[in-house]
Amino acid sequence: MSRVFNFSAGPSMLPLPVLEKVQAGLTDYNGTGMSVMEMSHRSKPYQEINDKAESLLRELLSVPDNYDIIFVQGGASTQFEAIPLNICVNRKADYIVTGNFAKKAFKEAGKYTDARCVADSSDKNYTYIPKVNRKDFREDADYVHICFNNTIFGSHYSYIPDTGDIPLVADMSSCILSEEIDVSKFGVIYAGAQKNIAPAGVTIVIVRKDLQDKYQPICPTMLKWETQIKEKSLYNTPPCWSTYVAMEVFQYLKDNGGIKAMHDIDVMKANLLYDYIDNSSFYSNGVEKESRSIMNVPFVSPSPELDAKFVSEAAKAGFVSIKGHRLVGGMRASIYNAMPVEGVEKLVEFMKKFEIENK
């Protein structure tokens, strides 16, 4: 077996022990004589998977009792429209735009509510997180939306904006499970699975109970959080396989020390890369230091030509999908939980070698 180090921003690596475990049960899950992919979502074995996924996630993130967790479809992008359709009292919502996904969420919301951008970091190509405080928000805003980790630009909030009584809604698609979070500071947290959880297909939404009956009358049944909350995520056929793998990833994290232990490793991996980049005169990362992501690390070499050469030589050496997003250029190493420390160590070695050969 030969596995590459996959630095893709998503879909991305999954922990090898989890892949092996789900492979072992692929044709016969727990003596059922079938795979989870072939199983009725109303069957007892699947009900157990669904329940366990919920309870393990609740435990890992210490989700308080006044929040519900649902597993839905449509990716994080579908939540961009679900949010303004679900939380609408005064028909006003404030957005902080720190990157491409935050901008998409803001634009989508404008179709269903009076969405206002209260802060934006596009002036420096999203290399920082704007400082905001309470008075920046409209007092009667229904919610404030942030993107906690900006996958494309490699930035992350170093603070949780103080929105007072206004519910804070956060897209955590590319950082969930990499850090302990105080869920009680948020009204809604959502994340697509394919970055740091499971295969694409399932999206996690954590919703505070008081925000579950504020939907617009036109809110489609399938986008209404209340629908899936009442039905325990089984209103319609769920993405069973993706939820199953998510459950196994949650179990794996729990067995390996939980989020705190994972976070320490994630910080260590990110520091390996940032320390090397910061001490090099060849590579650079333009993100303001206090707002750097530990999950997505963009960097450039001295020229676009060398960037292209780096990407192609890296792929030959077994470091794949390291090309930066077209909006940023250069390279981007996405180093989610499943990226082994060894993958980052070997990448740094490769970067050193490339620097010497191309200086």
Alpha helix (H) ranges present in 15-166? 16-24, 44-60, 75-86, 100-109
Binding string, residues 17-56; x marks residues near ligand PLP by CB under 6 A: ----------------------------------------
Task: Give the residue, chosen from 86, 113, 173, 291, that forms a contact with ligand PLP under the rule CB under 6 A.
Answer: 173
Q: How far apart are CA 40 and CA 124, in angstroms?
A: 50
Residue number with the smallest Cβ distance to ligand PLP: 75
Binding string, residues 300-329; x marks residues near ligand PLP by CB under 6 A: ------------------------------
Task: Give the residue, chosen from 174, 243, 285, 301, that forms a contact with ligand PLP under the rule CB under 6 A.
Answer: 174
Q: How far apart are CA 300 and CA 259, in angstroms?
A: 30
The answer to whether 114 and 137 have CB atoms below 8 angstroms apart is: no
Task: Give the residue, chosen from 151, 243, 301, 334, that forms a contact with ligand PLP under the rule CB under 6 A.
Answer: 151
From the list 49-57, 70-78, 262-270, 300-308, the region that binds ligand PLP by CB under 6 A is: 70-78
Q: Other C-beta atoms within 10 Å of 149: how many?
A: 29
CB of residue 48 to ligand PLP, shortest distance in Å:
26
- State which residue, 50 or 151, has the beta carbon closest to ligand PLP: 151
Binding of residue 10 to ligand PLP (CB under 6 A): yes
Q: Return left, alpha or beta for 327; rule: phi > 0 is left, psi -120 to 50 is alpha, else beta.
A: alpha
Q: How far apart are CA 274 and CA 196, in angstroms?
A: 20
CA 5, 9, 12: angle at the middle one, nearest 5?
A: 55
Q: Return left, alpha or beta for 169; rule: phi > 0 is left, psi -120 to 50 is alpha, else beta.
A: beta
Task: Give the residue, chosen from 95, 101, 283, 350, that forms a contact with ligand PLP under the rule CB under 6 A.
Answer: 101
Residues that bind ligand PLP (CB under 6 A): 10, 75-77, 101, 147, 151, 171, 173-174, 192, 195
